Amino acid sequence: MKLGCIGDDFTGSSDLANTLAKQGMRVVQYSGIPSRDADAGVEAGVVSLKSRSIDPVEAVAQSLKALEWLRAQGCSQFFFKYCSTFDSTPVGNIGPVADALAEALGADRVIVCPAFPGTGRSVFQGCLFVNDRLLNESGMENHPLTPMTDADLRRWLAIQSTFPVGHVPAQVVFDGAGAIKGALDAEHAAGKRHIVVDAIRDEDLMEIGDAAQDLKLITGGSGVALGLPRNFGCSPCTPDWQGQTGPVLVLSGSCSKATRAQVARHVTSHPAREILAEDVIEARITPAGMLELALGAGSLPLLYSSSDPDVVRAVQDRFGREEAANAIENFFADLAQCAVAAGVTRIIVAGGETSGSVVEALQIEDLTIGPEIDPGVPALRAGPNLVFALKSGNFGTEDFFSKAAGVLGP
């Protein structure tokens, strides 16, 4: 294995695996830390953790265990993948995990770049934009777990990290890999360890990749990984894929703007049932019962808990934030188990936390990467009779659910 990657959630890990596979690397996405060595021929391993919103101490411990396994596979470079909207709180978990990985690897110049122009995420003057809005004006300020209230990555990361934060501005990035490398060296000489690098175009990401050739650790969204495979002699290609026949089910636990629009579009032409947190907590519904209703209602059924931010806040105020979140995620996990037992072979999941709960509940060890459905979202095969699409809440066009079903199988 050449490139070792650690993702802080499952959809983000799929996004990263998709990027690397399109650029020609042989990639496997692992569910949690593997219990055995990687198969021969795997060039990039992506260890998917569910560490984005847990206690920072536990997030660090899990990430270091993942690093230990990846180092044992012979990796020469490492990538810490987090969301392209930098989902975190003032106490972490991006800063603490990046600090720990940098210390373990002796990395003194660590790129920080969540830019993903293909999905409207760009970094300019050290600030993160979502399309034409600053991050804290994009809707992410209402995220139920990691509300993003400051678009300045330097300022937000400095709160979380024990290391000084530097910056490479766009004007330098536009001058290419040599200029970027020189700026990284200058920031290191000035005592900066984590260095935010601007990027607004795919061309910028490719140049950053070239500049990162000799770095031990890179951190960011999947976009900045775009230029890494060619450092290992790889070139773009299309992954092999065999579609899966059989029943399909859509599960949505994301409350993002994009997912809510996808749900609204889907319910106009397909069967759908909403899962309310209070119904789950007070045991008025069961996973088996909801699944039976969904599968009997027609083609491409959707079960969703994707409420507006005000509704989510009201539920959290009533039952407690953790109890409400855990109740929904556990319900979706049980739903997935019931679905597979009932013969469902194609599962589409919206939301990083929900995707992690589903994959863990099904005890899936690894996923092979198929074709891209929408930017950042690949088709995934978990076994001979089971395929997935794991979608980050903010990704995908409004018709994503129908589109994903078509890519996953006939």
Mean pLDDT value across residues 364-386: 95
Tens of pLDDT, residue by residue over 166-214, are 999 999 999 999 999 999 999 999 999 999 999 999 999 999 999 999 9
What is the reported pLDDT for 26? 95
pTM of the model: 0.88
pLDDT of 394 strictly over 90? no
Least confident of 184-198, 208-222, 307-321, 377-391: 307-321
What is the reported pLDDT for 221? 95
What is the reported pLDDT for 135? 97
**What DSSP letter does each residue of 16-35 carry, written as one string?**
HHHHHHHTT--EEEEESS-S
Residue 377: which of 259, 298, 228 has the closest Cα? 259
Mean pLDDT value across residues 224-231: 95
What is the reported pLDDT for 185? 98
Tokens 């997912």 -> residue = 259
As a whole number of angstroms, the distance between CA 365 and CA 359 comes to 9
pLDDT of 387 strictly over 90? yes
Residue 34: which of 24, 25, 42, 22 has the closest Cα? 42
Burial category of 238 from C-beta neighbours within 10 Å (exposed 0-12, middle 13-18, buried 19 and up): exposed
pLDDT of 309 strictly over 80? no
Tokens describing residue 171: 């004007």
First to last CA, the chain: 34
What is the reported pLDDT for 143? 87
Tokens 């206690």 -> residue = 55
249, 250, 251, 377, 397 from 348: Cα distances, Å: 6, 5, 6, 11, 14
Residues 306, 255 contacting (CB under 8 angstroms): yes
What is the reported pLDDT for 144? 84
Other C-beta atoms closer than 10 Å to the C-beta of 166 total: 23
As a whole number of angstroms, the distance between CA 235 and CA 191 comes to 36
Residue 305: which of 271, 260, 360 has the closest Cα? 260
As a whole number of angstroms, the distance between CA 208 and CA 117 comes to 14
Beta pairing, strands 217-220 & 110-113: parallel
Task: For the chain, give every residue range classified as CATH 3.40.980.20.
Answer: 248-408
pLDDT of 74 strictly over 90? yes
Supply the Cα-derived Rg of the chain in whole angstroms.
20
As a whole number of angstroms, the distance between CA 4 and CA 235 comes to 18
Three-state secondary-structure class, residue 253: coil
pLDDT of 145 strictly over 90? no
pLDDT band at 18 (very low <50, low <70, confident <90, very high): very high
> Yes or no: is domain 248-408 CATH 3.40.980.20?
yes
Mean pLDDT value across residues 83-87: 95
Tens of pLDDT, residue by residue over 322-352, are 888 889 999 999 999 999 999 999 999 999 9
Three-state secondary-structure class, residue 282: coil
Share above pLDDT 90 across residues of the chain, in percent, rounded to a whole number:
89
> Yes or no: is domain 3-232 CATH 3.40.50.10840?
yes
What is the reported pLDDT for 366? 94
Query: If you average pLDDT over every residue of the chain, what do you get?
Result: 95
pLDDT of 321 strictly over 80? no
Tens of pLDDT, residue by residue over 28-72, are 999 999 999 999 999 999 999 999 999 999 999 999 999 999 999
What is the reported pLDDT for 314? 85
What is the reported pLDDT for 164? 97
Task: For the chain, give every residue range classified as CATH 3.40.50.10840.
Answer: 3-232
What is the reported pLDDT for 252? 96
- Please give the distance of CA 393 from its chain centroid, rounded to a whole number: 9
Give the bridge partners for 47, in sequence order.
6, 30
Three-state secondary-structure class, residue 325: helix
